[in-house]
């Protein structure tokens, strides 16, 4: 089996440009369009009505109006039935309204759910997730700095932030709702993004230990190529299940799977397109590798 | 023991473990606890409201947990769990509960009963409250009855001996004066004391409906919450909807994993089958551990949990991929199959040891700090990582080495490799 060597590092400016565009678009979307947060972050009630037969959206609306529930947002769900959102923050009142509506519409109680989130809970979730994120990043920085070196740990974090920003950007652009599941998915992406980056860095470290006859950059390029088949195959295998869930998984899992698919793609790309070239450029500023670079300038 | 024996032995060990795991987790729907989003039921998170008078301490939360537990017992619900979430919240799970309003009512009432002096009446005729004379702590029993004269529903309460003494004293000194019975800051009734009450009992009337009286009885018998709790989250899911989501989730996950297996077989040919075995071994051990955790009430499968499990199976596939890629690479570099298998597995394991430890560290942080669905997810991820390391070092590595020394040299094309046999 012959191996083609792709010149990733030589094309790094294109990859930086590509990433820069993605990041700019994401940041712009986040600034101007913002994120749509689910009721978990604002407080309110979501009700699902399933097995609704030939009940129309107007029937549901008038049932809520009759109950005196104001400002109910009613939409039809992907798999039939209706999803209704109200600003009700008291679960007791929400359940009373729900019971009254299903009675009026003649749906059995066995089919559906009612979720009420009190005000302030979202802040609680956000705060603890942010704290978890900050602590994780600190722990990762420490681990990679001790086990490898601090330059690797910082570039790994750059790639990580790159992936999270792009995923959030996609959420903003598509107007998808951010739920605690999205946060869980984002934190998972974090794990995968790092996993990928570490596999590449491991190879760079291994090859770097016996580096004499080429520049650091071209050695890094070879390393990336050596683990490329693994990167592609892992991305394919880890993306297939979430992809299937995105299509056939039902409401909750679809939500979760979408963030995973975007994040996995970005994570696989950023190890090659962001982490490795930035790290190599940084390393080539060291006197030892500067000399190698001069000597083998044409080699790569 | 020579290396060959050691490899056979570690494979045998894993096979035994897989057998034990199957025995432990089969049938799945009985051995692995389902979360409320799958099983159906009511899940409530209550958060303590801190005030300057009642700081939320560990001790306060312990007492609140006990009171909540007692109240739910009174509702007659079974298999209820009450757990602490973070520093100031309680997660209450009521599987299969039908009447969620009753449960929400009983949980949402603080139940602080006070008997207070009435000093005067304000312009609108409402009583102005004086000092607290007696609190609900002294109540030992509460029963529902009707007032013989008015026919109104009332809740009769009995005090302990200390309360009886105080109550006699209070009533003796206040004959002809008005007192107020206050529940959670709301005046339920303001009767006039007619005579000294010596038997340590009194009746609370306030125009209750039968349901309200029942709730008051529960609350008074179980005692007041040491701090007021507000609803942060309440999820009621019907069993049919939950099972439907479970089925969709599992079906899509199985299709996904099936595609992964096909892909691995197409790309890695014979070694793809090795990767299959590793994935099956991993899944079996993983489910076995989940069954053990379920048994002790430490784990319940939620919908995001399904995604977590599938992702960790992907993690296990990745370990096989790393081993296979490294092997093929070393063969390409001109090593024999035998030495490529030895050094390839060693290097691959070193690589994912680092990657796994980093992921584990971040999952651990999540587990310790985060709340809500993230936590369950972090737990599955951590378990998955540990099992992945066990399977990769004991099983995949040994199978790889044995294959490389036996079948691979005989039919290299079946395994998608060339050369490697030069020195054999």
Residue B98 is predicted with a pLDDT of 62
Between helices A180-208 and B337-369, what is the axis angle to 10°?
140
Residue B75 is predicted with a pLDDT of 74
Could you tell me the pLDDT band of residue B116, with boundaries at 50, 70 and 90?
Answer: confident
Statement: residue B408 has pLDDT above 90 = no
Q: Is A247 in contact with B245 (Cβ distance < 8 A)?
A: no
Do B190 and B38 touch, CB atoms closer than 8 A? no
Chain B residues near residue A260 by CB distance under 8 angstroms? 307, 311
Start and end residues for every CATH 3.30.70.100 domain found in chain A: 44-117
Whether A96 contacts chain B with CB within 8 A: yes
Do B383 and B289 touch, CB atoms closer than 8 A? yes
Put simply, the chain A residues between 129 and 148 with a CB less than 8 A from any chain B CB are: 129, 131-132, 135-136, 139-140, 143-144, 147
Q: Is B260 in contact with A250 (Cβ distance < 8 A)?
A: no
Could you tell me the pLDDT band of residue A279, with boundaries at 50, 70 and 90?
Answer: very high
**Sequence-ordered list of residues with C-beta below 8 angstroms from that of B248, at least 6 positions apart, any chain:** A248, A249, A250, A253
Residue A278 is predicted with a pLDDT of 93
Residue B43's SS3 state is strand
B39-109+229-235, CATH topology level: Alpha-Beta Plaits (3.30.70)
Q: What number is the average pLDDT over the span A106-117? A: 78
Q: What number is the average pLDDT over the span A73-92? A: 81
To the nearest whole Å, the CA of A169 is away from the closest chain B CA by 21
Residue B424 is predicted with a pLDDT of 42
Give alpha helix (H) positions in B76-112: 100-108
Q: What number is the average pLDDT over the span A141-155? A: 90
Candidates A165, A124, A115; CA nearest to B370 is A124
Candidates A242, A160, A228; CA nearest to A195 is A160
**What is the C-alpha to C-alpha distance for residues A293 and A297, in angstroms, rounded to an integer?**
5
To the nearest whole Å, the CA of A28 is away from the closest chain B CA by 28
Chain A residues near residue B48 by CB distance under 8 angstroms? none
| CA distance to A278, A281, B99, B127, per residue, from A284 (Å) | 10, 5, 68, 83
Across chain B, mean pLDDT equals 84
Q: Is A247 in contact with B322 (Cβ distance < 8 A)?
A: no
Residue A101 is predicted with a pLDDT of 86
Residue A83 is predicted with a pLDDT of 85
Max CA separation in chain A (angstroms):
83
Across chain A, mean pLDDT equals 84
Q: What number is the average pLDDT over the span A21-34? A: 93
Q: What number is the average pLDDT over the span B123-140? A: 81
Statement: residue A85 has pLDDT above 70 = yes
Report pLDDT digits (tens) over B169-185.
888 888 888 888 888 77
| First-to-final CA distance of chain A | 22
Q: What number is the average pLDDT over the span A31-40? A: 84
**What is the C-alpha to C-alpha distance for residues B217 and B205, in angstroms, rounded to an integer?**
12
Statement: residue B423 has pLDDT above 50 = no
To the nearest whole Å, the CA of A256 is away from the closest chain B CA by 7
Whether A12 contacts chain B with CB within 8 A: no
**What is the C-alpha to C-alpha distance for residues B183 and A286, in angstroms, rounded to an integer?**
74
Question: CA nearest A259 in B: which residue?
Answer: B307
Do A243 and A265 touch, CB atoms closer than 8 A? no
Tokens of residue B209, six digits: 């409906």
Put simply, the chain A residues between 160 and 219 with a CB less than 8 A from any chain B CB are: 180-181, 183-185, 187-188, 190-191, 194-195, 198-199, 202-203, 206
Q: Which residue in B47, B263, B322 is closest to A236 by CB distance?
A: B263
Chain B residues near residue A129 by CB distance under 8 angstroms? 370, 374
Residue A109 is predicted with a pLDDT of 66
Could you tell me the pLDDT band of residue A300, with boundaries at 50, 70 and 90?
Answer: very low
Query: What ipTM was predicted for this assembly?
Result: 0.82
**What is the C-alpha to C-alpha distance for residues B33 and B290, in angstroms, rounded to an integer?**
9
Whether A235 contacts chain B with CB within 8 A: no
Chain A residues near residue B350 by CB distance under 8 angstroms? 202
| CA distance to A13, A216, A293, per residue, from A297 (Å) | 17, 10, 5
Chain A residues near residue B322 by CB distance under 8 angstroms? 199, 230
Chain B residues near residue A3 by CB distance under 8 angstroms? 332
Percent of chain A clearing pLDDT 70 (strictly above): 96
Report pLDDT digits (tens) over A263-277.
889 998 999 999 999
**What is the C-alpha to C-alpha distance for residues B180 and B133, in angstroms, rounded to an integer?**
10
A247-277 core/surface letters (b: 16 or more CB in 10 A; e: else): ebbbbbbbbbbbbbbbbbbbbbbbbbbbbbb
Domain ranges of chain B: 3-36+238-415, 39-109+229-235, 113-210
Q: Is B101 in contact with A90 (Cβ distance < 8 A)?
A: no
Question: CA nearest B88 in A: which residue?
Answer: A124
Region for A282 from its dihedrals, namely left if φ exceeds 0, alpha if ψ lies in -120 to 50, beta otherwise? alpha
Most B-contacting residue of A200, A227, A241, A247 (CB-CB within 10 A), to test interface: A241
A12-38+121-295, CATH topology level: Multidrug efflux transporter AcrB transmembrane fold (1.20.1640)
Whether B334 contacts chain A with CB within 8 A: no
**What is the C-alpha to C-alpha distance for residues B2 and B30, in angstroms, rounded to an integer?**
43
Tokens of residue B61, six digits: 């939360």
Residue B20 is predicted with a pLDDT of 93
**What is the C-alpha to C-alpha distance for residues A46 and A84, in angstroms, rounded to an integer?**
6
Statement: residue B61 has pLDDT above 70 = yes
Put simply, the chain A residues between 261 and 300 with a CB less than 8 A from any chain B CB are: none
Tokens of residue A143, six digits: 């681990």
Whether B351 contacts chain A with CB within 8 A: yes
Chain A residues near residue B89 by CB distance under 8 angstroms? 124
DSSP A271: I
Do B182 and B146 touch, CB atoms closer than 8 A? no
Candidates B369, B290, B288, B275; CA nearest to B322 is B275
Dihedral sign for Cα B239, B241, B243, B246, please: negative
Residue A210 is predicted with a pLDDT of 84
Statement: residue A2 has pLDDT above 50 = no
Residue B296 is predicted with a pLDDT of 85
Residue A53 is predicted with a pLDDT of 77
Q: Which CATH architecture has domain A44-117?
A: 2-Layer Sandwich (3.30)
| CA distance to A112, A137, A195, per residue, from B318 (Å) | 38, 23, 10
Q: Which residue in B314, B364, B368 is closest to A241 by CB distance?
A: B314
Q: What number is the average pLDDT over the span B46-56? A: 81
Q: Yes or no: is domain B113-210 CATH 3.30.365.10? A: no
Chain B residues near residue A252 by CB distance under 8 angstroms? 37, 245, 249, 303-304
CATH no. for B3-36+238-415: 1.20.1640.10
Predicted structure pTM score: 0.79
User: Picking from A97-111, A150-164, A224-238, B132-146, which range would have the lowest pLDDT averaged per residue?
Assistant: A97-111
Do B204 and B189 touch, CB atoms closer than 8 A? yes
Chain B residues near residue A118 by CB distance under 8 angstroms? 47, 230-233
Backbone angles phi, psi at A142, to 5 degrees: -65, -50
Report pLDDT digits (tens) over B196-226.
888 888 888 777 788 778 877 887 888 778 8
Residue A298 is predicted with a pLDDT of 53
Report pLDDT digits (tens) over B280-338.
999 999 999 999 988 887 888 888 788 778 878 888 888 999 999 999 989 988 889 99
Q: Is B350 in contact with A202 (Cβ distance < 8 A)?
A: yes
Question: CA nearest A198 in B: which residue?
Answer: B355
Residue B351 is predicted with a pLDDT of 87
Residue B289 is predicted with a pLDDT of 94
CA A91 from chain centre, in angstroms, equals 31
Q: Is B303 in contact with A253 (Cβ distance < 8 A)?
A: yes
Chain B residues near residue A121 by CB distance under 8 angstroms? 45, 47, 232-233
Start and end residues for every CATH 1.20.1640.10 domain found in chain A: 12-38+121-295
Q: Is A92 in contact with B104 (Cβ distance < 8 A)?
A: yes
Statement: residue B124 has pLDDT above 90 = no
Radius of gyration of chain B (CA): 33
Q: Is A245 in contact with B310 (Cβ distance < 8 A)?
A: yes
């Amino acid at each position: 089996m012959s191996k083609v060597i792709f010149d990733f590092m030589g094309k790094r400016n294109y990859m930086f440009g590509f990433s820069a565009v993605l990041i700019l678009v994401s940041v712009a979307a986040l600034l101007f369009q913002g994120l749509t947060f689910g009721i978990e972050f604002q407080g309110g009630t979501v009700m699902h009505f399933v097995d609704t037969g030939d009940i129309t959206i107007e029937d549901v609306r008038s049932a809520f109006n009759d109950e005196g529930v104001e400002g109910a947002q009613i939409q039809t769900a992907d798999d039939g039935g209706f999803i209704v959102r109200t600003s009700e923050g008291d679960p007791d009142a929400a359940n009373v309204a729900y019971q009254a509506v299903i009675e009026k519409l003649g749906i059995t109680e066995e089919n559906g759910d009612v979720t009420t989130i009190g005000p302030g809970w979202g802040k609680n979730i956000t705060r603890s997730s942010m704290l978890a994120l900050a602590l994780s990043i600190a722990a990762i920085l420490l681990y990679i700095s001790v086990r490898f070196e601090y330059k690797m740990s910082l570039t790994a974090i750059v790639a990580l932030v790159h992936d999270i920003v792009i995923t959030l950007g996609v959420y903003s652009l598509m107007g998808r709702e951010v739920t605690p599941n999205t946060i869980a998915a984002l934190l998972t992406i974090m794990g995968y993004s790092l996993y990928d980056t570490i596999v590449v860095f491991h190879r760079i470290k291994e090859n770097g230990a016996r580096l004499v006859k080429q520049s650091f950059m071209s050695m890094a390029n070879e390393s990336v190529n050596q683990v490329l088949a693994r990167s592609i195959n892992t991305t394919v295998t880890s993306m297939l299940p979430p992809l299937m869930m995105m299509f056939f998984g039902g409401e909750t899992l679809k939500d979760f799977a979408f963030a995973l698919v975007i994040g996995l793609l970005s994570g696989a790309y950023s190890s090659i397109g962001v982490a490795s070239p930035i790290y190599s450029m940084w390393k080539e500023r060291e006197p030892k590798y500067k000399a190698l670079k001069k000597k083998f300038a044409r080699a790569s | 023991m020579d290396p060959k024996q050691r490899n056979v032995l570690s494979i045998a060990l894993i096979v035994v473990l897989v057998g034990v795991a199957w025995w432990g987790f089969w049938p799945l729907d009985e051995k692995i606890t389902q979360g409320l989003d799958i099983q159906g039921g009511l899940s409530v998170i209550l958060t303590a409201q801190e005030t300057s008078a009642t700081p939320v301490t560990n001790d306060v939360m312990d007492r609140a947990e006990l009171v909540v537990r007692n109240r739910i017992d009174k509702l007659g619900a079974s298999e209820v769990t009450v757990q602490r979430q973070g520093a100031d919240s309680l997660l209450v799970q009521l599987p299969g509960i039908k009447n969620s309003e009753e449960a929400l009512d009983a949980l949402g009432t603080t139940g602080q009963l006070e008997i207070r002096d009435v000093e005067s009446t304000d312009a609108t005729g409402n009583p102005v409250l004086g000092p607290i004379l007696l609190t609900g702590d002294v109540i030992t029993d509460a029963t529902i009855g009707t007032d013989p004269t008015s026919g109104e529903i009332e809740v009769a309460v009995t005090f302990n001996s200390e309360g009886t003494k105080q109550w006699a004293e209070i009533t003796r000194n206040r004959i002809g004066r008005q007192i107020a019975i206050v529940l959670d800051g709301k005046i339920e009734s303001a009767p006039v004391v007619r005579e000294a009450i010596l038997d340590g009992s009194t009746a609370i009337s306030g125009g209750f409906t039968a349901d309200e009286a029942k709730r008051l009885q529960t609350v008074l018998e179980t005692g007041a919450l040491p701090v007021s709790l507000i609803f942060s989250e309440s999820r009621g899911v019907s069993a049919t909807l939950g099972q439907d989501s479970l089925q969709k989730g599992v079906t899509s996950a199985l299709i996904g994993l099936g595609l992964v297996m096909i892909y691995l077989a197409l790309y890695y040919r014979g070694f793809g089958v090795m990767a299959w075995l590793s994935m099956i071994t991993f899944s079996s051990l993983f489910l076995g551990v989940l069954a053990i955790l379920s048994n002790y009430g430490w784990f319940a499968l939620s919908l995001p949990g399904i995604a977590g499990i599938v992702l960790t199976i992907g993690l296990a596939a990745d370990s096989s991929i790393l081993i296979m890629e490294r092997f093929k690479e070393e063969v390409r570099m001109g090593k024999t199959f035998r030495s490529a298998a030895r050094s390839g597995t060693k290097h691959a394991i070193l690589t994912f040891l680092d990657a796994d430890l980093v992921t584990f560290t971040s999952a651990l942080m999540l587990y310790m700090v985060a709340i809500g669905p993230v936590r369950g997810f972090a737990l599955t991820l951590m378990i998955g990582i540990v099992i992945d390391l066990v399977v990769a070092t004991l099983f995949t590595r040994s199978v790889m080495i044995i294959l490389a020394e036996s079948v691979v040299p005989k039919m290299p094309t079946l395994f998608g490799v060339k050369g490697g046999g030069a020195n054999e």
